[in-house]
Structure 1
Amino acid sequence: MKKLLLATAISATLLTGCGGSSDDNNEPMTAQFTLGVSDAPVSNVKAVWVAFDSIIINAADGERPTFETRTAEGEPVMVNLMEFTGSDVFGLINDEVVAPGEYQWLRANIVNGDEANIEMTSHVVYNDDTVAPLVVNRKNNDGIGEIQINDFTLAVGENEFVLEFDLKKSLVDPSNSEEVNLKPTGIRLENLAEVEDIEGTVSETLMANCETDNLDIAPETGAFGHAVYLYSGDVVEPKDLYVDGEVSPADAPIATANVVMNEETGMNEFEIGFVAAGSYKLAYTCAAHIDDAEVLDEAVTLYSIQDVTVVAGEDANVTFDIAE
């Protein structure tokens, strides 16, 4: 069961809506729309604060239901994505009534980072506690950024969706700018009724072997980047995180997850949330610390790859270990 954590301070107001069809008793047929956010974390920051101003969905008939995501004081809702990883979800809007049917896009309006008001606008906090504005680019220079996801369907009845932010693919820190860019290429919209989780462990021996075999890319400071990457099952030669402009290549990861030591179990664990049923490849690497989504880097090697099948109604469990 996915964990939908709803913030009581949110004011999610339906400003405009579109009418639905009717059943045999002339009662309107409606969809209840719930939306949350979650993320796959990145290793060089401790907080990624995103200020959500509103959510707009665009119906095929042109109607645009709009939902404000604001606190009781009227401020944009601030979400630290790093606190909602794996299958944990922060609820933005809950059970809003809209018409069922095909929708052309969903757009999240984000308040871009502003150094003059950094704590109430989108920003990144690095591990050394330095802070940088977080910006989503769009044509209008009005302080609002847009994250748009195209083509989804709302069925009659309850619909629970999540915007999944893969920060390894989404966060870009340009060398010539004091701002950090949040790119929509690493963001997915998933229907919780149609997805499962992939959970697993990586053995200490495999991780140590990977570090030994990759001493040429050992970090000067800090640790190796231990992560798992998820690929479509028909990818023959999986590649690194490279995103070509606004398009993620077919052989690039669909999603990623860090490998993290669970102090209670003593195991090195990972979790990739919101994966649709189907066949995939899952790869472990210790080179995530040098994997830049803006660069196609041959030095990023995938140390162990295995096939995994996700079955509807079941979470998948995967173990990476040395060969018997």
Structure 2
Amino acid sequence: MKSITTTAAMLASASLLAGCGGGGDGDTEPMFATFNLSVSDAPVNGARAVLVCFNEVELTGDGLGSQSFTIGDDDEAVAANDSCRDAEGNVIPNTRGIDLLLLDGAKSEALITGAQFEAGNYGQLRLEIAEGSYVEQEDGSRAPLRVPSNELKLGSVTLSAGGTFNYTLEFDLRKAMVNPPGQDGYLLKPVGLRLVNNSEVGHLTGSVAEGLLINNNCTVAPADALMPVATVYLYEGADRPLAELSDNGGDNTYQPYASTNVYFDGVSEYSFSLGFIDAGVYTAALSCDVQDDPEVADEVMFLQAQNTEITASSTPVEADFSE
């Protein structure tokens, strides 16, 4: 694997060759782009924290071999922290632990800042996940969180020479995180993970009228602020019929692009948010069914839906559900 120090050496070598006249007319020096990567999340039920331990970020498929950055090799670009620990409580080196449940809606945390990658079209971004990842459950106990083959493989990235590119990895834990029967702990799958270019996405926020919840026998004013009272699902395209909408584990005509919980603020508001959505037209649908197993077709009844257009902007679009 090529580390950030290896990349720096490549830059120095290219400069030295140019200064010594080693480059002829037919030689082309590598061109570089600045790459920033952040992490965000949509909340999941039944957990107080979901800590993921990142170890390495790699771009592959540009015809020049893989280019990778190991967490902690250059703290200015990929800083490590002490959140990831082994069974004896020792800090796992070269890791950065991020609690995804702190990053709902348009919130995000930087994983890579100002890294120099060779410009090109990369077919895949790969994240290596270290030991130490866990789910803190509602009773305060911790269960291990595993990733198949300890890596997450995501979509393509295009980096143009001299440019600065900001990407975000959005974890939709309602799709991606499962608790397989008979296995120790949770499993984090690549299903529901979205790698997006920040210049091409927007955000959605909204509220739900309390009267609408009451009229449909939904939960209202829970004492626990972390208890969801409803769910909002987002579907690509406009005017999607309620009867044809699927939950995260269902097989109806239209599959969710993303989903999130509706929470009570402890006073009078019931609000929700979804971040890093590809610009386009969507159907937002409301349900008071908050349990949704991503591997099972659950009975989810939708109360109402509305069309919403997401624009590429840092200013969220509003979508309110009224009586």
Structure 1 stretch displaced more, 162-171 or 225-234: 225-234
1:266-305 correspondence runs (5 A)? 266-289=268-291, 291-297=292-298, 299-305=299-305
Amino acid at match of 2:214: A
Q: Which residue of 1 aligns with 2:53?
A: 51
Q: Deviations over 1:115-149 (max 9, x none)?
A: xxxxxx001010111211100112xxxxxx11111
Amino acid at match of 1:253: P
Q: Is the 8 A contact 1:224 1:287 kept in 2?
A: no
Q: Deviations over 1:155-198 (max 9, x none)?
A: 34110111100111111001211220001101110111111101
Paired residue secondary structure (2:139): coil
Task: Work out whether 1:200 is the aligned partner of 2:210.
Answer: no
Q: Which residue of 1 aligns with 2:217?
A: 211
Aligned-residue Cα RMSD (Å) equals 2.7
Q: Which residue of 2 aligns with 1:151?
A: 156
Take 1:281 and 1:130, find their aligned partners in 2: how far apart are those partners?
A: 37
Q: CA deviation at 1:16?
A: 4.3
- Unaligned runs of 5+ residues in structure 1 are 1-11, 21-25, 113-120, 139-144, 215-221
Task: Work out whether 1:35 is the aligned partner of 2:37.
Answer: yes
Task: Work out whether 1:127 is the aligned partner of 2:146.
Answer: no
Q: CA 1:14–1:210 in structure 2 vs 1: closer, same or farther (change >3 Å)?
A: farther
Segments of 4+ moved more than 6 angstroms: 17-20
Q: CA 1:98–1:302 in structure 2 vs 1: closer, same or farther (change >3 Å)?
A: same
Amino acid at match of 1:106: L
Q: Which residue of 2 aligns with 1:5?
A: none
Paired residue secondary structure (2:182): coil
Take 1:180 and 1:272, find their aligned partners in 2: how far apart are those partners?
A: 24
Take 1:96 and 1:151, find their aligned partners in 2: how far apart are those partners?
A: 17
Alignment counterpart, residue 90 of structure 1, candidates 98, 109, 112: 109
Counting aligned pairs with the same residue, the percent is 32
Paired residue secondary structure (1:207): helix
Task: Work out whether 1:239 is the aligned partner of 2:242.
Answer: no
Paired residue secondary structure (1:300): coil
Task: Work out whether 1:137 is the aligned partner of 2:148.
Answer: yes
Take 1:99 and 1:50, find their aligned partners in 2: how far apart are those partners?
A: 27
Structure possessing the higher radius of gyration over alpha carbons: 2
Q: CA deviation at 1:225?
A: 4.6
Take 2:231 and 2:312, find their aligned partners in 1: how far apart are those partners?
A: 25
Take 2:229 and 2:207, find their aligned partners in 1: how far apart are those partners?
A: 15
Take 2:57 and 2:97, find their aligned partners in 1: how far apart are those partners?
A: 14
Paired residue secondary structure (2:183): coil
Take 1:159 and 1:250, find their aligned partners in 2: how far apart are those partners?
A: 35
Q: CA deviation at 1:223?
A: 6.0
Q: Deviations over 1:87-110 (max 9, x none)?
A: 111111111111223111001111
Q: CA 1:168–1:208 in structure 2 vs 1: closer, same or farther (change >3 Å)?
A: same
Take 2:300 and 2:147, find their aligned partners in 1: how far apart are those partners?
A: 27
Corresponding residue pairs, total? 277
Q: Which residue of 1 aligns with 2:318?
A: 317
Structure 1 stretch displaced more, 83-92 or 226-235: 226-235
Q: Is the 8 A contact 1:163 1:188 kept in 2?
A: yes
Q: CA deviation at 1:209?
A: 2.4
Alignment counterpart, residue 172 of structure 1, candidates 173, 178, 184: 178
Q: CA 1:106–1:250 in structure 2 vs 1: closer, same or farther (change >3 Å)?
A: farther
Take 1:204 and 1:320, find their aligned partners in 2: how far apart are those partners?
A: 10
